């Protein structure tokens, strides 16, 4: 087999691919979400408050833990559809909190479901601070 031609072909393909496919957006993770929220509030985040909020039912039938379990390193289950929910804690699921739009979408929906209102910046920071303590 003609190795040099193969390499040339592979190289051409790779450069074509790199030219066509746009570079991925800058990597973000849980720390970037926290920084974003810290810029919005002067109140320091508290893991203890986050944990309490996560497990509180606040007058509705559901808490966050209803679907995500009280140990968010574990796989949860949607309270109405029974669909499995991947772990929420970044230590157990590195995909979590890597997309700011997705993070805001789910906080908006789920806080409305559990609290009947959207979460404050501090509440979001509290919950994520607690989630990051779970190893």
Chain residues binding another protein by CB under 8 A are 1-2, 5-6, 9-10, 13, 77-78, 80-83, 105, 108-110, 112-113
48 or 79: CB nearest another protein? 79
Residue 89 CB contacts under 8 Å (≥ 6 apart), including other chains: 72, 73, 96, 131, 132, 134
DSSP state of 84: E
CB 88, min distance to another protein, A: 14
- Residue closer to another protein by CB (options 45, 67) is 67
Residue 123 Cβ vs another protein, minimum distance, rounded to whole Å: 16
Count of positions (residues) in the chain:
135
* Cα 84 from Cα 66, distance rounded (Å): 12
Residue among 38 and 113 whose Cβ is closer to another protein? 113
Minimum distance from residue 64 beta carbon to another protein (Å): 13
Q: How many CB atoms lie within 10 A of CB 100?
A: 13
Number of H helices, E strands in the chain: 6, 2
**Smallest gap from residue 82 Cβ to another protein (A):** 3
C-beta closer to another protein: residue 2 or 42: 2
């Amino acid at each position: 087999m003609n190795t040099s031609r193969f390499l040339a072909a592979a190289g051409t393909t790779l450069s074509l691919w790199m030219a066509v496919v746009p570079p991925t957006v800058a990597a973000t993770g849980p720390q970037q979400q926290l920084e974003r929220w810290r810029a919005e509030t002067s109140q320091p985040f508290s893991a203890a408050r986050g944990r309490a909020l996560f497990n509180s039912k606040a007058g509705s039938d559901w808490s966050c833990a209803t679907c995500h379990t009280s140990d968010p390193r574990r796989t949860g289950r949607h309270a109405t559809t029974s669909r499995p929910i991947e772990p929420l804690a970044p230590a157990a699921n590195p995909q979590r909190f890597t997309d700011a739009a997705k993070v805001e979408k789910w906080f908006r929906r789920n806080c409305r479901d559990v609290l009947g209102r959207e979460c404050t910046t501090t509440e979001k920071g509290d919950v994520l601070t607690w989630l990051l303590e779970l190893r």
